[in-house]
Structure 1
Amino acid sequence: MDFVELARTRYTTKHYSGKAIPRETMEKLFEVLRLAPSSVNSQPWVYFHARTAEQKEKLLPAILDFNRERVTLASDVIVFTIRDAYDEAMFKRVLDKEIADGRYADETKIEGLDAGRRHFVGLHSETPESLHAWEQAQSYIAMGFLLAAAESYGIDSTALEGIDCAELDRILDTKSQGLKVVAAVSLGYRAENDSNATRPKSRLALTEIVREV
């Protein structure tokens, strides 16, 4: 599918049918999340996956009423979390994986590139809040990739911000893992009565949002 056509047809699903996504398709979607870009390859994310009825039920105390069926009737729910602190262990983990994956043909540049990443993360780490805002921006890049990839596989989706992140932190015990919930996405197949599926898409004209420098 042409990407512009994909953008035209993708929409936010309001009602799900309860039909399950094949596991092999979910594996592809997780691979898309793994491969998503992030500033200086920081990859500040960890994803929590709920698929069974019991797993989705566990999330419900943190889901606002109007979103609950978008969790219970979806096939899968992915909770997005970020690092509470981008620490030395994380810098080392990313660098070691880059080296193992052969990203550095010239080994003399490794130290400088590592220092560059540390500097850039440091620019956003004056306070925990500034770090979290920067990491959340990275996670939303990954979310965009997920929503587009889901559409390409014929999977419907809903980005969920009608959630209590602090309550999800409690439910998932993220604090003990050095993580912080920022958003969630439901994935599945639309119900026949999902009126949003046939509602015309409305966006501002290009002339209103694109300006030449």
Structure 2
Amino acid sequence: MDLPHILQARYTTKAYDATRRIPQDKVTQLMAALRFSPSSVNAQPWHFILADDEAGKQRLAKATPVESPVAYNRERIIDASHVVLLCAKNELTDSYLHSVLEQEEKDGRYQDAAARDDLAAARAGYVQQHKTAGDVAHWNQKQVYIAQGFLLLSAAMLGIDATPIEGFEPEALSHEFGLKEKGLTPLVMVSLGYHAERDNNAKRPKSRLGEDVLFSKA
């Protein structure tokens, strides 16, 4: 694997070839990238909605109405092979944190009950800090963007094009999927597939600030 080449080659796709589908084995790998993304105290404060057919994409596209200011993203949803909507939990309830703890125990994370209880107490302490600060929702949202980064890099490694999309009407998706009632906030969509020949961003050179600007020695 030539990571620098992959990082240089990946880009934000502007137009998709609607005739091409991502093979299921690669879709499975992309979903694994989301599932195994890291999060602070392993809270995993997210939910992902996958549109893998025309009906699902049309539901997501309701957030980019025709003639709206965000209509330019509609084609990037409809023509993509798959689209993922990444949502953040608004809260971290005791019952949810307990379900995480149970899964960790099931997966063999703890040597004994004492180790489990110590981790549960430490996690609860961090969560309480954010509850006291009143920024749990914001904290959760930051974790979701880590997952987005894992998805984008994983797609590039698999030779799949991608487009992160924040230009949509979140209220439309909250209504369509009942997200408010589920305690979720829609943050970003990621379209996935293969670029069309008309994609004017496909052959543009990547442009980033230089290392001398972005890095300094501690």
Structure having the larger proportion of residues in helix: 1
1:85 deviation in Å?
1.4
Q: Which residue of 2 aligns with 1:203?
A: 208
SS at match of 1:157: strand
Give structure 1 stretches of 5+ with no counterpart: none
Aligned partners of 1:162 and 1:150: how far apart in 2? 21
Give structure 2 stretches of 5+ with no counterpart: 65-69
Counterparts of 1:1-213 in structure 2 under 5 Å? 1-18=1-18, 19-63=20-64, 64-126=70-132, 130-213=135-218
1:61 deviation in Å?
2.4
Aligned length: 212
1:88 deviation in Å?
1.2
Compute the TM-score of the two structures, normalised by the length of structure 2.
0.93
Give the aligned residue type for 2:24.
Answer: R
Deviations 1:137-194 (A, max 9, x none): 1011111000010111111000001111122111111122221111110000000121
1:107 deviation in Å?
3.1
1:125 deviation in Å?
2.2
Q: Specify whether residues 106 and 2 from structure 1 end up closer, same or farther in structure 2 by C-alpha distance, changes over 3 A only.
A: farther
Deviations 1:35-74 (A, max 9, x none): 1100110100110111211211122221221101100000
Aligned partners of 1:25 and 1:89: how far apart in 2? 33
Give the aligned residue type for 2:33.
Answer: V
Give the aligned residue type for 1:75.
Answer: S
Aligned partners of 1:92 and 1:38: how far apart in 2? 16
Aligned partners of 2:105 and 2:208: how far apart in 1? 43
Aligned partners of 2:16 and 2:97: how far apart in 1? 40
- Structure 1: 4+ residue segments shifted above 6 A: none
RMSD: 1.3
SS at match of 2:201: helix
